[in-house]
Every structure is written in structure tokens, then in C-alpha cells.
Amino acid sequence: MDYTLVIALEMVRAVAWLVLLASGLAIIFGMMRIINFAHGEFLMLGGYTVVISTGNGVNEWFAMLVLAPLVVGIFGVLVERLVIQRLYGRILDSLLATWGLSMLMIGGVTMIFGNSVTGVATPLGGMSIGDYQVPRYNFVLIFAAIFLLLAIWAVLKFTKAGLIARATMQNPDMSEALGIPTRWVYMATFGIGSAVTGFAGALLAPMTGVVPTMGVNFIAQSFITVITGGASVITGTLSAAGLLGSISQGMTFLTGPVYGDAALLLAALVLLRLLPQGITGRIFKKSL
């Protein structure tokens, strides 16, 4: 019974992990159609914000929940104004530009901090489930993923800002004709997607450690989740993360983490073969 409960908890944590990794990319790629190859480095920047802040005496929770989203969100706005705004509708160019930004960020951070892993203390300690010990921080990740999805859903569904953002992404020319300042909407949307990514990077830092190349480990999982989920930001991210996370973690328990990652990739390939437009392109077409 205890072993089953631990397995269930780890599967839910794996789903939450993918939700956190993919939510910012779902906004930037899913809504804006910008292929942000620097997504992993935005996660890394959130992690280093926590490292620097806590090293200078800032409370760890404040650094993770406030400073990291703020810093990465502002950085995202600068990137959008200086680079991305010239590349809308040019998918290949945006891919190359953000890939170059990724290399620049990795090189710059390596020059400043070196190429060693910097640890961040995991808050809250552990708890016992029968004979098994699990980190209490797993529950933080799970609740953070739930809160993040609910917050994005509420903004897009019930606020004027969310309605304007959705309208601008679907038909920018009509939105411009109606007097909506689309360039500012794009800037704000990219900034919010970046802030969400920074939030995720900060929360994952205690579990993974922080190193300049950490984004390389996450970029594939993020894109696989978003593409498999399809066009719907909330439903697509949740359904893909739930399916892929459960398969990956289940295989990890049975065989090991290498086969777990391989199972995630294989499941995504099968799903995309059966559902080329993603899960929400076939099953939840009108979902948000």
C-alpha cells in the first residue's frame, strides 16, 4: 500500500514537473508561434536568480516566487523589444535568433559563474510514507503547477487582458483595426511567458541544481509536451503532461530513468503520428 502511494505521488510529481517546464513555452510558442530555443536558458536564468538572491541573504521563498519571475519577465520584455518583434511570422528566423541567444546566454553565464553545479537547499525536508522517505517539496511543485494552470486559465478566460491577448494572436490585423495596440500586447505576452518560465526554473532549481547548461536537459521535454498537447494552452499542456509524465515515470519505476525518457519520446512520437495536430487538435478542439 505504501509503495503504491509513493508511486502515485511520484507520477503526479512528474506530471507537475512537465506542466511547470512547458507552461511558459505554451504561451510563447502555443499562442505566439515563436519557436523560443532559448526557453531552457530562461529556466536557467530563473535558477540563477534564486542562487544569487539567497547567497545575498534574500529569503528563498521570496526569491523563487517573486524575484525570479520578475527578473526573467523583464529580461523577456527586453528580448522581445530588441530581437523578437522583428521576427513575427518568420518562424525559421526566430528559431535561429533564439538559438543564437541560447548560446550567448550559456557562454555569458559560464564566464561569470563557471561550469560547476551550484546547489540550492531544498526547503521543508522530508516526510515518511511507511518505510519510504519522500521530500515535502514535491507537494510544493504539485500545488505550484495546479496554481499556475488555474491562474493562466482565469486570466485568459475571465479578464479583458486575456481576451485582448487571444484576439491579437488569432487575428492581429483585425485587432489593430479595432484600435488594439498589438505591438504592446505581443510584448506583454512574451514577457508573461518568460516570467512563467522563470518561475518554473526557480522552483525546479532545488531539485536539479543550477548550471549554465541546465536548459539543454529541459528544452526537449518542454517542446515535446507543448507540441503533443496541441494549440490549446491549458488543456493541451495538462493533457500532454498528464499522459507523458505518467508513462515516463511508470517506465522509470520499472526499468530506470534512461528508459523512462525513451518511453516519453516514444509515446510522443506515437501520439503525433496518430494526432498530427496534437491532442487538442483532435479531441478538445474548442478548449482553452
Whether residue 225 contacts residue 22, with contact meaning beta carbons closer than 8 Å, is answered with yes
- Mean pLDDT confidence for 23-47: 90
> In the prediction, which pLDDT does 220 show?
87
Alpha helices in the chain (DSSP H): 2-25, 39-55, 60-62, 68-82, 91-113, 137-158, 160-170, 172-177, 182-208, 214-229, 233-254, 257-274, 279-282
- Mean pLDDT confidence for 235-245: 88
pLDDT higher than 60, residue 198: yes
Whether residue 20 contacts residue 149, with contact meaning beta carbons closer than 8 Å, is answered with no
Handedness of CA 189, 191, 196, 201 (dihedral sign): positive
Confidence of residue 30 (pLDDT cuts 50, 70, 90): confident
Q: Which of 144, 226, 231, 80 is nearest to 218 (CA)?
A: 226
Query: How many C-beta atoms lie closer than 10 Å to residue 90's C-beta?
Result: 12
43-52, 69-78, 102-111, 215-224: lowest mean pLDDT where? Answer: 215-224
What share of the chain in percent tops pLDDT 90?
Answer: 35
Record the cell numbers describing residue 115, joined without a space: 561550469
Burial class (CB in 10 A: 0-12, 13-18, 19+), 158: exposed
- The domain locations on the chain are 2-214
User: Which CB contacts under 8 angstroms, 24+ apart, belong to 180-185?
Assistant: 183/85
Q: What is the DSSP string of 142-157?
A: HHHHHHHHHHHHHHHH
- Mean pLDDT confidence for 60-84: 94
- Identity of the residue numbered 105: M
Q: Note the pTM of the prediction, 2 decimals.
A: 0.91
Confidence of residue 144 (pLDDT cuts 50, 70, 90): very high
> In the prediction, which pLDDT does 69 show?
95
pLDDT higher than 80, residue 163: yes
187-219: buried (b, 16+ CB within 10 Å) or exposed (e) per residue? bbbbbbbbbbbbbbbbbbbbebebbbebbeebb
Query: How many C-beta atoms lie closer than 10 Å to residue 234's C-beta?
Result: 22
Please report, for residues 100, 121, 161, the alpha-carbon distance to residue 107 in angstroms, rounded to integers and kept in the order given. Answer: 11, 25, 36
Whether residue 11 contacts residue 246, with contact meaning beta carbons closer than 8 Å, is answered with yes
253-282: buried (b, 16+ CB within 10 Å) or exposed (e) per residue? eeeeeeebbebbeebbeebbeeeeebbbee
Please name every residue paired with 118 in a beta bridge, in sequence order, or none if there are none: 210
Task: Compute the distance between CA of residue 262 and CA of residue 272 in angstroms, rounded to an integer.
Answer: 15
Task: Compute the distance between CA of residue 276 and CA of residue 269 in angstroms, rounded to an integer.
Answer: 10
pLDDT higher than 60, residue 16: yes
pLDDT higher than 90, residue 197: yes
Task: Compute the distance between CA of residue 132 and CA of residue 150 in angstroms, rounded to an integer.
Answer: 31
